[in-house]
Chains A and B, each alone.
Chain A
Amino acid sequence: MRNKIKNLKFIYVFYIVAILVLIGILSIYSIFGKTKGYIDDTTKNMYINYVYDISKNISDQIVESTSGDIYTTLRNDKKIVEELEKSLQLFVSSKYRYIYVVDKSSENANEFRFLLDASKDVDEKSEFEELYEPLNIKKFNQAYENKKEIYFTQEDAQDVWMTFIKPIVVDGKTQALLIIDFSMQGHLLINNSLLELDRVLKISIFLGLFIFFIIIFFAYIDNKRSKELIGFNEKLESNVKNEVEKNRQKDQQLIQQSRLAQMGEMISMIAHQWRQPLAAISSASAAIKLKSMLNKLDKDKAMELATNISNYSQHLSETIDDFRDFFKVNKDKNDVTYNELIESVLGIIEVSMENKNIILIKNLESKEIFHSYPNELKQVILNLMKNAEDILLEKKIQNPIITIHTQDNKLSICDNAGGVPEDIMEKIFDPYFSTKLEKNGSGLGLYMSKTIIQEHCDGDITVKNNEDGAIFTIALNSQKEK
């Protein structure tokens, strides 16, 4: 669930970042568009304003020189024409190609006629009154009629030229037009650079958009896959849970079987424990009966036999308590020593072993105190001893011996039944592995012993062989170590 939320958060953050990047790119492009327009207008106006200023000065000079009657004065006085043309020539350069003045012979004339021409080239220079029909004659007529400056571009292969037309107005009447053809190359260069930048930005935006949509698409696919994976994982988790539950139930059944088997063993052990006191009780009872029949039962004897019977009964009751305590589930940790554990286990099993002629050797050297679960440890020790007993009986060993040895934090239980075969040595702690299948072994004894020692008691249990038989060793962490 946390991963799911984490994935979702990541996806949303990713989407937001992608959208912000997109908005950023579009904003940059929008700002660039406005700036481009501003630069374009500014450079263009810079050129035009300069030409406007020049044209105004020239126009004023012409009006002043001709005393307000331009055509008549220029026609009659060639000297003024020469002077004015020389003035105009001062402005002619590679950037200001043509500067000339034209007028109309009449209001309705279709053509204009040259009055002044700043051209120095003989072939290019027009003659006074030469008729002239410009390509954009409508613009010329428009300026003539409206008495307002006008400018327009005329493109050729190499350059952009702009034509600026200034009407020379005297007493509210247009007397002539001053025309200046000037280069907009600087503006064109800036404009071309801006257009190039614009193209690059457009390509970037296109690529950005393309990448954005690709990323969104893959994020969508990835999200879809993640959802499918989460669903699959949930299903898998559910299946695993079901299987684990099935196994747990199976374990429970096997543990139940194991408990039933242990109960059987317990009953067997109780029977062994009870046999002697019951025989003693029976003997005392028979003595009372016999002496009573022979009228030889005196008060003291009766008291002695009754006390014996009471003591034996008490012993039987204690035996029951011992067994009950032994198998009682106690979830509290307590301080315990190996000696206490072994004494408790032997109290249950010792008689049974003596009856089976098994020699029990105790070599108890450990004085360590362990803070652990005594009942669980007792079950482990009991299990190991019962296993030793079983194998000794199964192999019909002549002088069966079980040795219990404790030293420091270690407890070893050895037998002389020949040891664990090497090929099964690694498997004997596995669940459901048993060499006692014919005797209904559950295969859980050693597995549970290992689980108890390793997981509950924080210790370890190992097995190895010596020349006589198997040695199972329990190692617990003592109080000192903790």
Chain B
Amino acid sequence: MKKILFIYLFLHTLLNADSNYELKLYETVIPSIITKQLIKVYLDKDAKILLKDSSKFKILNNCDESVDILIGKNFDDLSNECKNKPIFSTSYKSFKHTKNSFGAFYWRKGRPQIKFKGETIDKFKLHLPNSLERYRQ
């Protein structure tokens, strides 16, 4: 059921390219990878706008030890301790060049792109569901 819901939301998001659906995509993809009851998230400036209405994440204003995941594309100013947390990027550049980025969702030429780095996922012992395996690199 979860898988069907995920595929539905994912495709719906891709086809409609609407921020509201992007929010739903994040709320579907991230909990399927980080299996925690309450996921504590730290967001960069752009991601804060995107996920401000989320009810599934606990959004922290400060990046501390309790953060489960970082979502965004620019975390240069963060402490090294915080940078070591798994990062879900919102751009290809961040995905490619940020060491702890395990996945990304971004738009390229008007088409949505979702990607995961196998090595980083394994490093953080994250669980990539079967429905997203095809996006592993």
Chain B residues with CB under 8 Å of A132's CB are 108-109, 111, 113
Indicate which residue in B93, B96, B113 contacts A133 across the interface (CB closer than 8 Å): B113
B108→A135 contact, CB < 8 A: no
Which positions 1-41 of chain B face chain A at CB distance < 8 Å? Answer: 14, 17
A-B pairs, top 10 by smallest CB distance, nearest first, are A98-B109, A135-B111, A134-B111, A130-B92, A132-B108, A126-B108, A133-B113, A100-B109, A123-B91, A181-B110
Chain B nearest CB from A462 CB (Å) reads 104
CB pair A127–B93 under 8 Å, yes or no, is yes
Q: Size range of the interface on B?
A: 10 to 19
Could you list 12 examples of A-B contacts with CB < 8 Å? A98-B109, A124-B109, A126-B92, A126-B108, A126-B109, A127-B93, A130-B92, A132-B111, A134-B109, A134-B111, A135-B14, A156-B110
Whether B137 sits at the interface, judged by CB under 8 Å, is yes
* B115 in contact (CB, < 8 A): yes
For the complex, give the distance between the alpha carbons of A130 and B115 in Å.
11
Question: Given contacts A135-B111, A181-B110, is CB(A156)–CB(B17) below 8 Å?
Answer: yes
Can you name 6 extra interface pairs (CB under 8 A) apart from A98-B109, A98-B110? A119-B109, A124-B109, A130-B108, A132-B108, A132-B113, A135-B112
Q: Is A161 engaged at the interface, CB distance under 8 Å to the other chain?
A: yes
B 77-117 contacts with A by CB, 8 A: 91-93, 96, 108-113, 115
Which residue in chain B gives the minimum CB-CB distance to A133?
A: B113
Q: Which residue of A lies closest to B137 (CB)?
A: A131
Chief secondary structure at chain A's binding surface: loop
**Hey, what's the 0/1 contact readout for B112-125 against A, CB within 8 Å counting as 1?**
11010000000000
Chain B CB within 8 A of A246 CB: no
Q: Tell me the residues in window 163-216 of chain A with beta carbons closer than 8 Å to chain B beta carbons.
A: 179, 181
A137 to chain B, nearest CB (A): 10
CA separation between A135 and B14, bound complex, in Å? 8
Residue A97 CB within 8 A of the other chain: yes
The interface residues of chain B lying within 8 Å CB-to-CB of A124 are 108-109
Contacts of A97 in B (CB 8 A): 110
CA distance A322 to B39 in the complex (A): 145
Residues 59-77 of chain B, each 1 if its beta carbon lies under 8 Å from chain A, else 0: 0000000000000000000
CB-CB under 8 A from B93, the residues of chain A are 127
| Contact residues in B for A123 (Cβ distance below 8 Å) | 91
How far apart are the CA atoms of A116 and B96 in the complex, in Å?
A: 18
Contact residues in A for B134 (Cβ distance below 8 Å): 110
- B115 surroundings in chain A (CB, below 8 A): 131
B111 touching A127 by the CB < 8 A rule? no
- Which A residues are in CB contact (< 8 Å) with B96? 127, 130
Contact mask for chain B residues 30-59; partner A; CB cutoff 8 A; 1 contact, 0 none? 000000000000000000000000000000
Residues from 110 to 156 in A contacting B, C-beta threshold 8 Å: 110, 119, 123-124, 126-127, 130-135, 154, 156
Would you give the shortest CB distance from B72 to chain A, in whole angstroms?
13
CB closest chain-A residue, reference B15: A135
CA A132 – CA B93 in complex, angstroms? 13
Tell me the minimal C-beta distance from B90 to chain A in angstroms.
10
Residues of B within 8 A of A179 (CB): 109
In the bound assembly, the distance between CA atoms of A439 and B108 in angstroms comes to 128
CA distance A156 to B112 in the complex (A): 13
Q: What residues of chain B lie closer than 8 Å to A134, measured between beta carbons?
A: 109, 111
Interchain nearest-CB distance for A165 vs B (Å): 12
Q: Is A161 in contact with B92, judged by CB distance below 8 angstroms?
A: no
B104 CB → nearest A CB, Å = 11
The answer to whether B110 and A161 touch across the interface, beta carbons within 8 angstroms, is: yes
Return the CB mask of A313-325 against B: 1 if under 8 Å, else 0.
0000000000000
Determine the distance from Cα of A119 to Cα of B107 in the docked complex, in whole angstroms: 13
A124→B108 CA distance, assembly (Å): 6
Q: How far is the CA of A250 from the CA of B56 in the complex (A)?
A: 112
Q: Which residues in B have their C-beta under 8 angstroms from that of A181?
A: 109-110
Bound Cα distance A119, B14 (Å): 21
Complex Cα gap A98–B17 (Å): 17
Interface residues of A in 91-105 (CB under 8 A from B): 97-98, 100
From B14, B93, B134, residue with most partner A Cβ within 10 Å:
B93
A187 to B2, CA, bound (A): 42
Complex Cα gap A123–B113 (Å): 14
A470 CA to B107 CA, complexed, in Å: 124
**Smallest CB-CB separation from B18: which chain A residue?**
A157
B58 → A minimal CB distance (Å): 28
Asked, given contacts A134-B111, A181-B110, whether A127 binds B17 with beta carbons under 8 Å apart, the answer is no
CB-CB under 8 A from A133, the residues of chain B are 111, 113
Chain A residues positioned under 8 Å from B111 (CB to CB): 132-135
